[in-house]
A and B are shown apart, each in its own frame.
Chain A
Amino acid sequence: MTKHTIVALVADKPGVLNHMASLFRRRGFNIESIAVGHSEVPHRSRMTIVVDGANTMVEQVRKQLDKVVDVVKVFDITGDAMIARELALIKVTATSTTRSEIIEIVDIFRANIVDVASDSVTIEVTGDENKINSLLKLLRGFGIKEIAKTGRIAMARGAARASPVEKKATKAKGKKTS
């Protein structure tokens, strides 16, 4: 079992997310996280899906995803050098005695305090899972009241992966594609 990061460019239409999720469900995969947002191309959304599974099974699902007509392209970027980020909002109990200690930790992690109340502070942190987990570990002692996390979003480093749409556009300009 390996944790896979799958990136998909899909048509921005109703039902696409449902279709993709159902292909994972059918094979008994539990989707660990899924993040969807607009991409650089109009009417195309970009999804980042994190699943745990055997390589051959994930590859089978990737091929099935690729067959969905509204899916433009799917990459499994697990083995690639990639940038992966999550965003978390963490509400921590903070009294006048603990607040300064919390602020110190937040600074070390280059996180931000985005809300302060009389008995709590809310912290915004961006980073990979390790960073967020380490921060959570340190904050746990103060008493965590609430956590909200986005799923992972990811991108391969460098110019290694071009979407087919991008490739087409470059070709049209008569340039060589990577």
Chain B
Amino acid sequence: MKLTGAQMVCEGLVKEGVGVIFGILGGALLPLYDTLPQYPQLRHILVRHEQGAAHAADGYARATGKVGVCFATSGPGATNLVTGIANAHLDSVPVLAITGQVARPFIGKDAFQEVDITGITLPITKHNYLVMDAAEIPKVVKEAIYLARTGRPGPVLIDLPRDVQIEQAEFHYPAKVDLPSYKPTLRGHPAQVKKAAKLINEAQAPVIIAGRGVIISGGYSELKELAETAQIPVITTLLGISCFPESHALSYGMLGMHGMAYANMAVDAADLIIAIGMRFDDRATAKVSAFAPHAHIIHIDIDPAEIGKNVRVDVPIVGDAAAVLKELNKLVNPAKHIDWVRQLDDWRKEHPLTIIRDTEQLLPQYVVRQIYEATKGEAIIVTGVGQHQMWAAQHYWYDRPNTFISSGGLGTMGFGLPASIGAKVGCPDETVWCIDGDGSFQMTIQELATIVQEKVAVKIAVLHNNYLGMVRQWQEMFYGKRYVATPLSSPDFVKIAQAYGFPALRVEHKKEVIPAIQKAMEEPGPFLIDFNIEPEENVYPMVPPGAALSEVLEGPKKQAKAAKDSAKLPVSNL
């Protein structure tokens, strides 16, 4: 059977179980879009900017575990995807981006809307293709989806010249992928697993640091079994949040720059770190030379290139987190670690995070806590990047697996709104809250039109402080309070929402918080709340840049200890 290139792309997507595409068309992608009505199984969601398409595909992929797909035309359409692709790359999210390209005879001639997108995305995709022959499309689509979702997941891009979309060829869809050079290791090496079990069985003060790899592998029960069998405290990375129930007695929150003080203290004092599906990012380890100074480190990761990249590792295990944990659990002896767990509980009592200042001011932490109460902790929370992201990570307790969606590695402001669209489209029966800041929100605010046109019932909480708050906090602490370029004059978000055509409320006082959230929950469609929060509230705890995890600042009182001026900051990744 002969099909056009465009039809073959759609056939492939349908065969791979793709149901939703986020995108914007354009000249170079017209043939593909013209074919879409023949495939009603493929729902197309028109976004307002291609960055939104990539983030929505990313949010969809994180929420569902399936590959998120986005389309963009050649040239500017393709370059607008770049931030979203880089974001998916750093957070290991399976995204398939399909871009239009100028027709083959025009490639390399600086044709209208031509850009070398495979060249541009080379370092930020797991793999990419420029398809020069329609007959290759079935194999390319099959491979691209396979590469995106297997091993360490990541974005894959297919660049389709306009004339290849029209070209006809015989359609043979391959039954399986044949990639001899790509064979991810899933099962851990038995000898390494044995060594790890020995270290665990001998440890007096072990700590698990769990990352997004646990979520990707679906290893929730395996992680729980390990923690409970040997009574090992569990700490997560930012992206590991919700891989272990936070109300569990062995859950000690998140580590890192804005992690819980007790979590950072535990890592600092531990004699064994069991790192699972995480990559020792500098925001998590703080000063890397002072990271876990007393501990042996077991590192379980599917990507061999992550082993030993940032910290020394005593027992590396390359493999899928769930598969390795399953084998490890067979060898781990029941243990109690009574003194160690008691020590952590004492630290948690002495350095609590959960107490929110009792004041009439409208505090962002209070807002997050009330969203937690109203949703009974069962919503999917999607965030942008900034202070609000940290408050959402700290003050909402995630008990259900995979309910926290945030931009970690790239720290992409503007991720929240489009990613929440993707999450809600992927999980229509879930309550999805987008917690955003006024700075982050305005970077992709145009997607409000998408939620109205596509009737995506996300609830949006804008923590509005008229600052690029996280940067302002740094200026306050390390740049002598010189607030250069951080004050924002943000618009009236209630009027903005109304102009887009959906209801919204402004909250200026603490007493209005609960009723407003209730109103948002009762509304069947999208709803926005503009929370005018205390403008100069800071995120604590905080490990100052260049400091060790043990040097955590818990509040403004101890701030005097922090470096006074940027000139005195040690060299680190600011």
Contact = CB atoms under 8 A, between A and B. Distances in A.
Interface of A: 11, 15, 18-19, 22-23, 26, 56, 59-60, 63-64, 66-67, 69-73, 164-165, 168
Contact of B122 (A11, A22, A164): A22
Nearest to A59: B308
Contacts of A71: 181
A75 B97 CA distance: 32
A69 B123 contact: no
Contacts of A70: 127, 181
A15 B118 contact: yes
Nearest to A73: B181
A23 B309 CA distance: 15
Contacts of A69: 126-127, 147, 179, 181-182
Contacts of B303: 67
A17 to B, nearest CB: 11
B28 to A, nearest CB: 20
B535 interface: no
- Interface size range of chain B in the complex: 10 to 19
Contacts of A64: 305
A72 to B, nearest CB: 4
A23 B122 CA distance: 10
Contacts of A73: 181
Nearest to A72: B181
Nearest to B184: A67
B224 to A, nearest CB: 31
Contacts of B118: 15
A56 B304 CA distance: 14
B304 A66 contact: yes
A101 B304 CA distance: 56
B40 interface: no
Interface of B: 118-119, 122-123, 126-127, 147, 179-182, 303-305, 308-309
Contacts of A63: 304-305
B92 to A, nearest CB: 12
B304 A18 contact: no
Contacts of B180: 72, 164-165, 168
A148 B243 CA distance: 58
B457 to A, nearest CB: 39
Nearest to B126: A69
A26 B123 contact: yes
List the 5 closest pairs (A to B, CB-CB), nearest first: A63-B305, A72-B181, A69-B127, A69-B182, A64-B305
Nearest to B127: A69
Contacts of A56: 308
A96 to B, nearest CB: 52
17 contacts: A18-B119, A22-B123, A26-B123, A56-B308, A60-B305, A60-B308, A66-B304, A67-B303, A69-B126, A69-B147, A69-B179, A70-B127, A70-B181, A72-B180, A164-B180, A165-B180, A168-B180
A125 B488 CA distance: 68
Contacts of A23: 123
Nearest to A168: B180
Nearest to B143: A69
A11 B127 CA distance: 13
A12 to B, nearest CB: 12
Given A56-B308, A67-B305, A69-B179, 15 more contacts: A15-B119, A18-B119, A22-B122, A60-B305, A63-B304, A63-B305, A64-B305, A66-B304, A67-B303, A69-B127, A70-B127, A71-B181, A73-B181, A165-B180, A168-B180
B473 to A, nearest CB: 31
A59 B306 CA distance: 11
Q: Which of A15, A23, A59, A67 has the most CB of B within 10 A?
A: A67
Contacts of B127: 69-70
Q: Which of A22, A56, A69 has the most CB of B within 10 A?
A: A69
Contacts of A26: 123
Contacts of A60: 305, 308-309
A66 B304 CA distance: 9
Q: Which of B180, B181, B305, B309 has the most CB of A within 10 A?
A: B181
A69 B125 CA distance: 11
Nearest to A61: B305
Contacts of B181: 11, 69-73
Nearest to B154: A67
A69 B182 CA distance: 6
A11 B122 CA distance: 16
A113 B456 CA distance: 77
Q: Which of A63, A70, A73 has the most CB of B within 10 A?
A: A63
A66 B122 contact: no
Contacts of A165: 180
A19 B304 CA distance: 19
B279 to A, nearest CB: 13
B137 to A, nearest CB: 17
A72 B180 CA distance: 7
A70 B309 CA distance: 22
Q: Which of B179, B182, B303, B305 has the most CB of A within 10 A?
A: B305
Contacts of B179: 69
Nearest to A14: B130
Contacts of B119: 15, 18
A22 B305 CA distance: 16
Nearest to B309: A60
A66 B118 CA distance: 19
Contacts of B305: 60, 63-64, 66-67
Given A66-B304, A69-B147, A69-B179, A18 B309 contact: no
Contacts of A59: 308
Contacts of A19: 122
B107 to A, nearest CB: 12
B236 to A, nearest CB: 25
A66 B180 CA distance: 13
